[in-house]
Structure formats: C-alpha cells, structure tokens
Amino acid sequence: MSRVCQVCGKSKHAGGSITRRGLAKKKGGIGMHVVKNVKRTFSPNVQRVRVKTPQGSRRMYVCAACIRSNRIEKAVG
C-alpha cells in the first residue's frame, strides 16, 4: 500500500527517537543524559476511502487530516 496522501501529498518523513536516562534536575537529580539516538520514520495516517469526484466515485488513499478538514467529499455506498 502506498503511504502517500493523494490529496495533499503527505508521505513518510525521517526523524529521531532520543532515549534519556537519569533523574531530572528539578526532581533533585543531576539531569537527563542522552543514552541512545535512533533514526525512525513517521508515517501519515493514510486510509483508503471512496471519494466523490466529477467523473464519479473512486477509491483514493487520503490522510486523516484531509478527511477531518473536509478537503474531500465521501461517496455514499
């Protein structure tokens, strides 16, 4: 399944996941220290929905943000 929104073009993005250990300074410790920094990907919440288009209804991969903001009109049935 393609993880790209066909309306806004939202797709996977790379980022990082930082693991920290230690007791925070405001809790009486010496501070949080970075132990591990791992690359990861952030995937959009893409769903397959029936969309009403001028040519008729068709199935499209649309992200949840586009569905919520009414950028598409869902087809009934």
CA-based angle 45:48:51, to the nearest 5?
120
Torsion of CA 23, 25, 27, 32, to 10 degrees: -20
Q: How far apart are CA 44 and CA 67, in angstroms?
A: 13
The encoded tokens of residue 63 equal 């992200």
pTM: 0.73
Give the pLDDT confidence of 17-63 residue by residue, as tens digits: 999 999 999 999 999 999 999 999 999 999 999 999 999 999 999 99
